Every structure is written in structure tokens, then in C-alpha cells.
Structure 1
């Protein structure tokens, strides 16, 4: 027969000790669980940082264990950073000086891709100036005789052609001159008829020679009076003389009406400036040349002019250089002539003119917009694979280009219109001919690079 089971009896002290031990184990388990979750949460927050942050995290974790544990944490952080690399539109990812943008961000940023290559760098002198009318292509229309405006046919801003009627006046003075001309014409007709009769009688020996000579003199005087009356009328009315008292004001040149001082019924004097017509196909830009630049400025040099509010520059020629220097400003006045610059170039706008005083060939030139300043260095964002590298460069001469810079839109689209007179920079080192780089809007890449560096510091 088997022995009966033994009963284990625990004293109250033993039971209390067992309960305390179980409670301690539960508390320890909870603490370990909280610590593990905290470490996992910290890893998740640091996984979005750059590769440099992953190195720092690995070193800190390795400090609490052996070298193998530190290496394992370092690899683990790098794997997490790669999994969280920005693949979404509008995000950028940087590795050192190399920047990768998503295709959507490149498109939205409107980056202009250019190709570095040889070109001419025109060293320029920048001079302040003001857009002005071509003083040699302005006409002032005034009534040569006093009158009252009967009709106004043209208004301010209208384009007119030479000989076109601008307004019609009624003039008593003109009517008087026309009356004098008619009277002189009648007297001439009577004198000619009298002379013809006396000449026939004299030839037939019927009348005396004295009467014949008197008739011939009367004809000569009548012709003089008629010619004088016609000249007075012509001088007063010119081609504007009409029938009766009407007097037409006509355009003397082709151009645009830029001033108008006439209204129907207005009484005008002979010196009233009724219309001002300007030929705007050519305009002047009067610039100030300081004493230090006078020796380099020459008539015939090319100039690129920019005016406030006008994005596109205009190319012109230095046509005049003053020979007298102002005593107060110690500067001379020069004139740049622009041919057909467009309606946006209005007289009175402030402008700056880049006068090309020297031109030299350079093996590699880039757009001036491509140069950015990063950490105290001049850099150009050069296309490298699917990203852009902030390439440090050594720059030479700055100026403007007389040749075209072939531009492409974001994503290598069709070439844009060639840009002449664009600011360019000679590259002595850092970018080779044929490499593609970012021209317009390159500052966006600089900003994205700065964001990435700020993330590293954080």
C-alpha cells in the first residue's frame, strides 16, 4: 500500500515571505518593460535623422556595453535611417555636400539647368541713369495763328502718322489772310488783262509806249502782291489751311501723342503747345559717368540696361559722352541709345547701365545666378547622377556675356530663349566645360542644404 500524502503546512511568516518575493518579481518585470519601451521609442525618433546622427547614437549605446553591442546599434540605426529616407514629393535628402531632391520638388522649384562652357566675359562698369525721350525724335504741334478749337480728332496716347489731322480750329486771322490772298489774285488778273490790251494796242501803233510800260509795271506789282499774300497764308497755316476759316493741326512726324492741351471751344494762342508727339521706336538712357571711369568709357561700346520694374534687360550702344565734367558731382553725362526697347520702357524710369569696357575669352563660364555662398566658400550646384553637389569653385572675372547661354527647364526640357548680356562668372577651378549645373533658383538648393545641416546639429 502506498503511503498517504504528506500535508505541507506553512506558517504565516513563510507565506508572507513568498508573497513579498512574488510582488518584487512583478515590480521588476514592469520596470524592465518600461525601460525597453522607452529605448525603442528613442530609436524611432532618431531613425529620421541623417547618417551622422546614427553614428553618434551607436557610440553612446556602445559605451554601456562591449564593442560588439555598439557596432550592432550603429548598424541598426543606419538601417532605420535608410528605411525612413525621403521618398515623398517636396522632401530633400542630403549626404554631406550632396543634395538629392524628389522629381516633384525639382519641378516645383523651377530649377534652370545650364551647361558650363567657354564664352566671352565682358568686364563692365555699372552706371546709374534714367530713361528719357529721344530729344531728336520729338515734335511740338502749335497753331501758327490764334483760333478756337472746333474739333479734336486725336487723344492722348494715340499713334499717328505724318500729315494726319489732329484737330481743326476756327481763326479770324486766318480768314483775313485768305481774304488778302483772294484780293491780290483778283488784282493780278485785272492787271494781266490790262497789260494784254495795252500790249496789243502798242504793237499796232495805236497807243503810246508809255501806256504799255505802265501796264507792264502794274502786272509786275500785282504779281508781287499775290506772291506775298500766298506766302503769308502759307507761313500762318502751312498744310493746315482749309476752306473758309477752318485751320487743321496736322502731325509733323510719325509717333505717339504723349501730351495734349486742347479741348473743344478752347481759345488757343499762336504759341500754345497743343500736342507733343514722340517717336518711341528709339529712346535714350542718360547715365552718369564718374571721373574714375571716364578713361575707360568710349563711344560705340555695348551697354546692357536694366530699369526698375522691367525684368528683361535691353542692349544698346553708348552714343554720346560728355566732354565737360560737372564741378559738384565730378561726373560727365553719357547717353545710351536703345532701338525698339518695347512699350514697358517709359521715360522717367530709373535705370542702371552695364557698359562693356573690356572683353576677354574664358575657357569656362557659368551664370552669375549659379554662384552661392556656403560656409564661406563660393559653390556651384553641379548635377551628379540623380542629385546635386555643392561644388566649391574658384572664380575669376565677373561681367556679362555677349554669347547665348543655352538654358533648359527643370527635368531637361526644351531649351529656353538665348539670353544675351546675362551676368556671367569665369570659373578658374571647380567646374569643367560640359558639366551641367543649376543656374536660376539655385538659392533653393542652398536653403535645402542649410536645413539638412541644421538637422545634423540637432
Structure 2
């Protein structure tokens, strides 16, 4: 082999060695990058489970927190019914003595005060006039009197005071053993709510297979007109629970029921097992401890931030 051939062979070998070396280095770097990328994505995944938010931002977004507490949760039964007149607030008025109706002072729909004159009647016996007055504050809902007519013992006026009305709730046989006088009731219709209690129970007037739970309703606002359909939650028992949170604290996240635990401005989702609820509070069987702070209002905003963060990491 001449000198030129030896030099050519040496050069080729050198190039091959250099190429292999570069490939090994590239492989090592690529492998290292893949591992680093994997670690990065894993870190991102875990980082996405935490939302950091200042107190100022939380206040601006209406996000508040509350402690996990022990307490009593009301167990309730749902009933339905209608608003009806309170019998004690209805009056059908007759003349004390038969005679001629001389002067009618009111008409249907008029508002009257206790003692207001409704009509003047001239007695047949004494020929003296006397006044028929309102027994209470209320409204004239019926009038059967006109000037010149004889009273003849008939009902002349009907008055009603609808500031106090009844909610008559239908109680079917499956609930009869649970419903009692004195139980607390939360009444609802449209956007209105009122707390009251069952005053008494009566059989159905038409012999239907149900009873009526009669609940007093303050209608001074006028928001509970006669005939209105109402929904009622009747508290039938209470359960002492060791852990409970507002129902507004619960969100569904990654197919689990969670609360968002706040610690030093960090909000983390915590899966929880839930129990009974009264519509305001809900029992937490496991997942959180007494004293931990959880998001109570606008918890959906924390959930939305987490989901948005995860969507960004997926890309």
C-alpha cells in the first residue's frame, strides 16, 4: 500500500469515527430532551392542580372561603299545595236589625279600616238609622246591598284581610307518618321564600285519600296571592354530622365531586365523599378535615381556571 492510499484510508476511518461519535452524542442529547420533556409535562400536570390567587383578586371575583365545620343537617320532605284564605280573616256581614238600606258607602275592591261605615240602615221597628261598620282592616270582596233594598237578614258585605293567608299542603299516605304539627316549613314560589310551621292537620274536605297540612303565611307583602301553587320543604328530622360545607362549595372536576381547599392563597381540588344535604349544607363523609378552609362562593371560577390551565398544557 503506497503512502497516498494509507492517507486516504486513514481519512475515511477518521470520518467514520467522527460520524459515530456525533450520532452517539445526538442520541444522548435527544434521549435527555425526551426525559426532560416528560418531567416537564409531569410537573405541568401537577402544577395545573393548583391555582394561586391573591386575596385582592379573590375579593374582586366574589370568591369567599369558609371553615369545614360539624353541625346538624335538616332532613326534609317535599310537599306541594296552594295558598288559600285564612278563615279567621273572612267576614260575612249582615244588618243587626232588618230594615231599609239607606246609604251604601263602599264597593267591591275598596280598602277599609276597622270601624269604617259600610252602610246605613233604617230599622223597621224603631225607624231609627244605624251604621254597619267594618270589624277589621281589609278589603270588600263582595257586596249584596243597594240603596232602598231591604236587608232581610241576608249577607250585605264580605270582607277579607289577606295579610295573613294559609298554605294548604297535600300530604299523601306515604308521608302521613312523617308530618306533624309544629314542624318547620320553608315555602317557595317563583323567587319568594318564607319560613313558617305547620299549624294543624286536617282530612281532605272531599274525602280524597290525603290530608292537608295548614301553614300560616305572612302576606303583608302581597307576594302570596290566593290560588298560588307553592312548594314546601318540611323538616322531619335532623342529623348530626361531623363534617359539613355549604352546597355551593361542591363542584364536579375530572369526574369527581371536589371542594377547593385554600391554603396560603393556593387553591387545590380535593375529592370528597358526600352524604345528606338540606339544600344549604351538605355532609362530607371523607376527604377533608375540620378547620380546613374551602371555597364557599363562586367555586366554579376556580374550576374554570384549572380546566383552562389543563387545556393549555395539553397543547
Q: Does 1:396 align with 2:275?
A: yes
Is 1:110 the counterpart of 2:62? The answer is yes
Structure 1 pair 289–177 and aligned structure 2 pair: CA distance change class (3 A): same
Task: Give the 3 Å change call, closer, same or farther, for CA 288–76 of structure 1 in structure 2.
Answer: closer
Structure 2, unaligned runs of 5 or more: 1-25
* Deviation of the 1:175 alpha carbon: 5.2
Q: Which protein has the larger Cα radius of gyration, Structure 1 or Structure 2?
A: 1
TM-score, L = length of structure 2: 0.71
Distance 1:266 1:319 in 2: 42
Q: 1:74 to 1:303 in 2, by over 3 A?
A: same
> Where do 1:379-390 residues align within 5 Å?
379-390=258-269
Alpha-carbon offset, residue 252 of structure 1: 0.7
Of Structure 1 and Structure 2, the greater helix share is in 1
Paired residues, number:
284
Greater share of residues in strand: 2
Instruction: Work out whether 1:371 is the aligned partner of 2:250.
Output: yes
From 166, 175, 178, the equivalent of 2:126 is 178
Are residues 110 and 343 of structure 1, via their aligned partners in 2, closer, same or farther at CA, if it must alter by over 3 Å? farther
Deviations, residues 303-336 of structure 1 (Å, cap 9, x unaligned):
22222221xx3222222223469776x4322112
Residue of 287, 294, 316 corresponding to 2:196: 316
SS in 2 for 1:66: helix
Distance 2:66 2:206 in 1: 44
The residue that corresponds to 2:226 in the other structure is 347
Superposed CA offset, 1:41-90 (max 9, x none): xxxxxxxxxxxxxxxxxxxxx99962455578889999xx9xxxxxxxxx
SS at match of 2:278: strand
Deviations 1:384-405 (A, max 9, x none): 32143222111122226xxxxx
Provide Cα deviations, 1:82-119, integer angstroms capped at 9, x if missing partner. Answer: xxxxxxxxxxxx94333345666634543343332121
How far apart are the structure 1 equivalents of 2:27 and 2:225?
A: 72
Aligned match of 2:12: none
CA gap of 1:256–1:327, structure 2 versus 1, over 3 A, is closer
Q: How far does the alpha carbon of each residue in 1:101-142 deviate from its partner, in whole angstroms, 9 at most, with x for none?
A: 566663454334333212111111111122233222222345
Mark the CA change 1:309 to 1:276 in structure 2 (over 3 Å): closer, same or farther.
farther
Aligned counterpart, 1:147: 101
Residues 1:129 and 2:12 aligned together: no
Q: In the aligned structure 1, how far is the partner of 2:80 from the partner of 2:191?
A: 15
Indicate conservation of the 8 Å contact 1:143/1:274, yes or no.
no
Q: CA RMSD in A?
A: 4.0
Name 1:413's counterpart in structure 2: none
Q: Counterpart of 2:181? A: 299
TM-score, normalised to structure 1's length? Answer: 0.51
